[in-house]
Structure 1
Amino acid sequence: MSNDFNADYITKIKSKKIEGITRRWLILIIGLVVLLFTIAFIVCTSLIKVYYYSSVESIVNSAASDSAVNYFENNINNGESLESSAALYIDTYSNKDSTTVWIVDNEGNVIISSNGFAVEKQKMSDYQSAMENEDGKAKFVGKLTNGQKVMAVCRVIKSSDNTKVGAIRVMTAVDNVDRQITSISVLIAFIFLIILAIIILSNLYFIRTIITPLKEVNQATKKIAEGNLDVRIEKKYNDEIGDLADSINTMASEIETADKMKNDFISTISHELRTPLTSIKGWGETLTLGNQDNVDELTKKGLQVIVKEAGRLEGFVEELLDFSRLQSGRMTLRLANVDILAELEETLFTFIERAVREGYEVKYSIPEVPCIANADANRLKQVFMNILDNALKYSRPGSKILVKAEFEKRDGKDFVKIAIADQGCGISAEDLPHVKEKFYKANVSVKGSGIGLAVTTEIVNLHNGFLDIDSVENKGTLVTIHLPLLEAPSQN
């Protein structure tokens, strides 16, 4: 039960796979939007970081201002030491809550800190840079030895003779600032994702309003191409796709009308030709079989040609009538319990005489057991004769035609398989998929209407059977008919 559920679930997922124009469209739109959003996100977060860090830097710079440096330089020039000036400055320093001030001597030792804690000597890259820079100023953003991230500005303190006696270093923690920047960045990213989802969903809806009608148009045109001219496309939008649906519907209606006229014409002509052809053939046979004593050889030969060609035309007319019934859906079967192999043997009996007369060898293998099916005997004979006739037409005199019947099981049901093989010209790989189509002729040099095999296939299908064709060009063709039986044949 679980496996069936999983299989159904996977099938549903696969059926919803986005393909074709929808996939290309979404890839293009998502790719472009993601690229633009990424650029916008980077720019926004960078500007926010610059803004916040600039604000922090301005606070630090205001603490490490020129006035603070001048305070120390004036005191030192007046004879006071750096240590006493530092103590007095720290006592009066007003920004202890937001910043920390270190007073550093010229050896890099922290003399005093505004937070009141002693500070061990540590590496201060901004102090070293300030001592080396001409303007005596440097900035540092990074972590202290205790792991706290800070922004620091260091200003050099000089005596009257321009000697560097120390520095004032003002710091402030930026961990909270970074967290705030991160929160704002996450919020911006979330907003961008919501906008991206809206864009994707709106584009997906829009593209489906195009793709869904196009799929319907595609399915309808395939059905029309297969011969289903009753198909019509529902017009959903008054746009270019709606105009396309109207055009295809109009085309289908015109094709349907023309097809009906063609079928009516074929049916009418076939019926009109059948009566005179029957009369011509009948009188020709009567004259041929009559008193021949006073008839010269040329007349005899002429009468034989008349009978032969009338018979050929009669067969062609019958094919046209069957085609007309096939097209209009009027082809029906007169079903009864029939011995299929007996009908095959009867057809072969008639066929072998003609084949031998024309120089062909026919070999067959048919089981001597009853083979009962619910079938139309006359239609089955038509199927066998059509295939045997094709084997004869497409083979060279002197070649063999082989017929074999055997029983088989298909999906637990009993079938008879009848194989008819020839050693003729064969069918090319390009033509083979189309030979069952109406009016398709793989070899135009051979006489025929091109509808016999289509009618044959339809008759087999009406018997709930199927017909296979295998062929190798210049070697021969194998036609296999599979027909269902009422019961398993008794093997005696």
Structure 2
Amino acid sequence: MKRNSGLQKRWLRNTLSILFAIVLLCVIALSIMVADYYYSSMEAGMEAKARTSTSFFDNYVRQSYNEYYQSCAKFAQSFDSKDQMELQFVNTNNRIVASSYGVYSGMAGVTSDIREAIETKAIASYTGTNPATGERIMAVSSPLIYTNGEVIGVLRYVTSLRRADRQIMLFSLCAALVGLIVLLVVYVSGRYFVKSILVPVQELTATAKRISAGSYGVQIPRKSDDEIGELTDTINEMSEKISRAEKMQSEFVSSVSHELRTPLTAISGWSETLLSAGAGVDSAEARRGLSIIQREAARLTDMVEELLEFTRIQDGRFTLNVVPCDLRTEFEDTVFMYGSRLRQEGIVLDYLENDDDIPEIPCDPARMKQVFLNILDNAAKHGGEGGRITAEICRENADGQDSVVIRIRDFGPGIPEEELPLVKKKFYKGASKARGSGIGLAVCEEIVTMHNGVLDIANAEGGGAVVTIRLPIAEQ
């Protein structure tokens, strides 16, 4: 749970924090843009109104000062937008001489727009705080120029920004609310998404712990077709393979125990018989017992040799003594030697001769003879009921590779299709009741592979199994 909590915290920190920063920046940027739009629109409207009013009022500027001030008061009184803004007439001394809020004489809140309009004789604007009241205002001043070119005052529009600021604030709050809703939606959907990953990961973790604790073969139901589903399939496949390997190893231990017990029992029993007073050394029973002891001792020796070879492969001590070798001669010697032994068991070993030119190849003769003997022995054990085994060595060229090919075929029942991919695995014996440790073919494949060759086992057409060995011929 701590790990899952860490994943959630990491997601919150890496995703939501970035998204929060983006939303905050968007809200601030939108608020600034809306405020600028509001203020620009208000300023443009007030400037247009000031320009129009100034043009209209130019007719009164040609009067005397007293008449001018009276005209200012009348114009201010007739101003029809009093609920939105204030119209002021301000003289050059910053005094208000007329206002749409009433005729009075007093100081105007001196802001930059008044001074700028008087100095530049052009419309000027101001957005900020009213020095007199502290209220946020927007003011636009347009100069009133007398006939002699003298600026005698400014026509000034002033409006409070309270309503605009409220609208901007309301928009900002709405934008912030939308941003929070987006964050909430992302958070909820993200939590759901993270949970959809964490829950399967928890199940996978729990199952992996069960497998590591010894529950080999346990399977996890696949619930999705995404990467989690692929990981589920991988763990299921791993669990199945570990279970199969564990089963094969258990069967191997059981098989070896049985294989060792049988000859040891025979050796022990016949030893007691020979040591008994009733058995003479020259008796037929004694000779039979010695023959059994010799045969079973040889079988034990073979099994021990296989186990030793297997341990050498496992710890990397398995080596080759490579020399140029006439492989045809080595193979024929092995076939003829083993053929006489098979005849005693009622099995015919046919050597299929040919005239192929097979050059010497670099290999370890002793190891290759070990491979030939092992494969012939397997053919006799598993396919001997067919009564016949064929062996041949030839030269073939496949896919541009010149190779020496050895084939050994039996005419027994063959190998079940589901067992074909497994027969070369260590400890695997399958459904066969034949004696053996189940590591002979694994050792053979290791030897062939170390010679850069390939060992293949398949069912032959017409019945039986065929073992094919391909060894590359080095280019001269």
TM-score calculated relative to the size of structure 1: 0.49
List runs of 5+ in structure 2 lacking aligned partners.
Answer: 272-476
Give SS of 2:83's match.
Answer: coil
| Other-structure match for 1:270 | 257
Q: Are 1:36 and 2:22 an aligned pair?
A: yes
1:18–1:118 CA distance, 2 compared to 1 (3 A): farther
Aligned positions of 1:147-158 closer than 5 A: 147-158=134-145
Cα separation, 2, equivalents of 1:109 and 1:269 = 118
Cα separation, 2, equivalents of 1:207 and 1:266 = 46
List runs of 5+ in structure 1 lacking aligned partners.
Answer: 1-13, 285-492
Q: Are 1:79 and 2:64 an aligned pair?
A: yes
| Other-structure match for 2:167 | 180
| Other-structure match for 2:132 | 145
| Contact 2:50-2:157 at 8 Å conserved across structures | yes
1:87–1:206 CA distance, 2 compared to 1 (3 A): same
| Other-structure match for 2:385 | none
Give SS of 1:107's match.
Answer: coil
1:126–1:281 CA distance, 2 compared to 1 (3 A): farther
Deviation at 1:180, TM superposition (A): 1.9
Deviation at 1:141, TM superposition (A): 3.0
Structure 1 letter corresponding to 2:199: T
Q: Are 1:53 and 2:53 an aligned pair?
A: no
Please list the CA deviations of residues 54-95 of structure 1 after superposition, one character each: whole Å capped at 9, or x if unmatched. 332244224422x32234433232334442221121122221
Deviation at 1:16, TM superposition (A): 9.2
| Other-structure match for 1:133 | 120
Structure 1 letter corresponding to 2:161: V
Structure 1 letter corresponding to 2:83: D
1:122–1:44 CA distance, 2 compared to 1 (3 A): closer
| Other-structure match for 1:113 | 99
Deviation at 1:276, TM superposition (A): 6.3
Q: Are 1:242 and 2:205 an aligned pair?
A: no
| Contact 2:85-2:158 at 8 Å conserved across structures | yes
- What is the Cα-based RMSD across aligned positions, in Å? 3.5
**Match for 1:92 among 67, 72, 78?**
78
Cα separation, 1, equivalents of 2:85 and 2:241 = 89
Give SS of 2:80's match.
Answer: coil
| Other-structure match for 1:70 | 55
1:261–1:157 CA distance, 2 compared to 1 (3 A): same
| Contact 2:43-2:125 at 8 Å conserved across structures | no
| Contact 1:60-1:99 at 8 Å conserved across structures | no
Cα separation, 2, equivalents of 1:251 and 1:89 = 95
| Other-structure match for 1:481 | none
| Contact 1:73-1:160 at 8 Å conserved across structures | no
Cα separation, 1, equivalents of 2:238 and 2:127 = 79
| Contact 1:130-1:156 at 8 Å conserved across structures | yes
Aligned positions of 1:283-302 closer than 5 A: none
TM-score calculated relative to the size of structure 2: 0.51
| Contact 2:144-2:154 at 8 Å conserved across structures | yes
Give SS of 1:167's match.
Answer: strand
Structure 2 letter corresponding to 1:77: R
Cα separation, 2, equivalents of 1:140 and 1:241 = 60
| Other-structure match for 2:156 | 169
Cα separation, 2, equivalents of 1:136 and 1:177 = 22
| Contact 1:60-1:172 at 8 Å conserved across structures | no
Cα separation, 2, equivalents of 1:25 and 1:123 = 55
Deviation at 1:110, TM superposition (A): 1.3
| Contact 1:213-1:241 at 8 Å conserved across structures | yes
Aligned positions of 1:409-424 closer than 5 A: none
Please list the CA deviations of residues 400-437 of structure 1 after superposition, one character each: whole Å capped at 9, or x if unmatched. xxxxxxxxxxxxxxxxxxxxxxxxxxxxxxxxxxxxxx
| Other-structure match for 2:240 | 253
Q: Is the deviation greater in 172-181 or in 271-280?
A: 271-280
| Other-structure match for 1:214 | 201
1:134–1:100 CA distance, 2 compared to 1 (3 A): closer
Structure 1 letter corresponding to 2:62: N
Deviation at 1:225, TM superposition (A): 3.0
Please list the CA deviations of residues 453-487 of structure 1 after superposition, one character each: whole Å capped at 9, or x if unmatched. xxxxxxxxxxxxxxxxxxxxxxxxxxxxxxxxxxx
Deviation at 1:221, TM superposition (A): 2.5
Cα separation, 1, equivalents of 2:205 and 2:114 = 76
1:223–1:190 CA distance, 2 compared to 1 (3 A): same
The structure that has the greater radius of gyration is 2
| Other-structure match for 1:355 | none
Count of residues in correspondence between the two structures: 276
1:153–1:161 CA distance, 2 compared to 1 (3 A): same
Aligned positions of 1:397-412 closer than 5 A: none
Deviation at 1:266, TM superposition (A): 0.9
